[in-house]
Amino acid sequence: MASDIEIARSVVLRPIVDVARDAGVPEAAVYRYGPHQAKLDSGFVAGLKERPVGRLILVTAINPTPPGEGKTTTTIGLGDALNRIGKRAVVALREPSLGPVFGRKGGATGGGRAQAAPMESINLHFTGDFHAVTAAHNLLAAMVDNHLFWGNALDIDPRTITWRRVMDMNDRSLRKVVVGVGDGVNGQARETGFDITVASEVMAILCLASDIEDLQQRLARIIIGRRRSGEAVTARDLGADGAMAALLKEAILPNLVQSLEGRPILIHGGPFANIAHGCNSIIATRAAMHLGEYAVTEAGFGADLGAEKFLDIACPAGGFAPDAAVIVATLRAMKHQGGADAAAVQEPNGEALAKGMQNLARHVRNVGQFGVPAVVAINHFAGDTDAELEAVQAFCASELGVRAVVCRHWALGSEGAVALAREVVRTVETTPASYAPLYDAGLPLLDKITCVARSIYHAADVSVSPAAARDLRRFEADGWGGLPVCIAKTPYSFSADETLLGAPTGHTLPVREVRLAAGAGFVVAICGDVMTMPGLPKTPGATRIGLDAEGCITGLS
């Protein structure tokens, strides 16, 4: 069986200007990064608001197994299939992070015959957006320490500095570091640390900003710490926001690539859904909605993370709402959620599947709480049995009142997702959405966290560390109580304990830390043992990646 990278290389890609033209983008608005990828001109993107607005389809999933269940593959396959049946569709995705590429999960451009291309470029440096975010974030960090070194005119209390550094790589050894060590010429010694770039508030700002002016205003509001008097210190106070915006001048432009079938895909921004808000940029999503009759976008990990944040954070910020949600499920993930050993999930196991379907049921019902109709996409894997596939379809029809469609886009491309495309079209044409966020913006911050925990995770309670409770009170006293919450937790369970599988109830959500992202416009609640700087597995994916004698990349998946 050919690998993803071999399949991708077997396809002759279209010139990106031709892909753009078919999507309604003139060549003058295309800034080419080589023959097969480009950025779109900001003036052209701004002018799209005069065009009609297409339907918005959100692709999400059940709680996954560590390798992932093919959500990006399904998103691309659905976009291709909608085009195949005569609906003009544009896909909007997040950019891959180098951390997973060289870590456990691999790339994030889909798989098989449903991929975004050129996959090697997209999975590695792409157009440099992540590097720009990293540079802008670390510029502010350098200016904080430089301000302390040169006399601290703002009277910043070093103990209150919350602005850490970032890099786009998994490196657990950098979670806690001491900077400024030396004989005094290296600055003031203090403890800090690194997060992965996708957890940066700058990344969230890039994805939630509506344009370059909004971007700079949000950057200016970033809070890095407090004066000894207790007053917040911002990036604007340090004079950093202008230079940060300058570094992001090109990064804010959405990227255009193509599927293996030559259909348009916008890829822009890349916050993780387990430690950030997990959605591609508002700019790219809006552009896709104006360029196509259908815009198909994806939210990271399971619906308890990415979809909830898309619906409670991105939709209010972007002023849009989905017309339908596609919930991706696999037999192997449901068996895993039903207690089957991870090494045996490809084997028939009716008992584990029946238990695991309760995880799918909760996700379908949770999406319904937002007033969004759902379709289930069963992403087919080799070895899946007809009997088990039919069992899931029967369960969805009888217990959930939704249709579950078996999809074979990995093997067949758009042909394998035509049934899904037709069901999505039928759903949006016959079942109008009545979207509303889960909670009212006026609720206290802890009540918002509790609402998500009880309504989405089915937790019995929330436990908050004394430090987190103190910080929540301070955020509200400073006027930030109206912000939504962004919960960081494991993606593998509804709870904060990744071993608690299925559809657990009665558990407690432990909030150990909260962070104010004033520029992005949300409060992060860090739960359980989730880390904002991941580590590499015992055998990193990087050990399989290299170059062959012709200089082609090998081992990338």
Q: What residues act catalytically?
A: 71, 73, 94, 105, 273, 301, 381, 410
Contact assessment for residue 179 and residue 196, using Cβ atoms and an 8 Å cutoff: no
DSSP label at 500? -
DSSP label at 515? E
Q: How far apart are CA 112 and CA 259, in angstroms?
A: 11
The residues facing 404 across adjacent strands are 376
Q: How far apart are CA 230 and CA 109, in angstroms?
A: 45
Q: How far apart are CA 81 and CA 328, in angstroms?
A: 16
Count Cβ atoms within 10 A of the Cβ of residue 70 and give its class: 0-12 exposed, 13-18 middle, 19 or more buried. buried
The residues facing 197 across adjacent strands are none
Q: Which amino acid is at 381?
A: F
The torsion angles phi and psi of 398, rounded to 5 degrees, stand at -85, -40
Contact assessment for residue 139 and residue 165, using Cβ atoms and an 8 Å cutoff: no
Q: Which amino acid is at 457?
A: Y
The torsion angles phi and psi of 361, rounded to 5 degrees, stand at -60, -40
Q: How far apart are CA 378 and CA 392, in angstroms?
A: 9
Pairing of strands 264-267, 294-298: unpaired
Quick one: which of 149, 91, 152 has its CA closest to 122?
Answer: 91
Pairing of strands 255-259, 114-117: antiparallel
Q: How far apart are CA 99 and CA 174, in angstroms?
A: 14
- Measure Cα distances from 213 to 28, 208, 412 in Å: 23, 12, 44
Cite the DSSP H helix spans in 38-105: 42-47, 71-84, 98-102
Q: Which amino acid is at 380?
A: H
Quick one: which of 411, 360, 391, 355 has its CA closest to 110?
Answer: 411
Cis, bond preceding 118 (omega within 30 deg of 0): yes
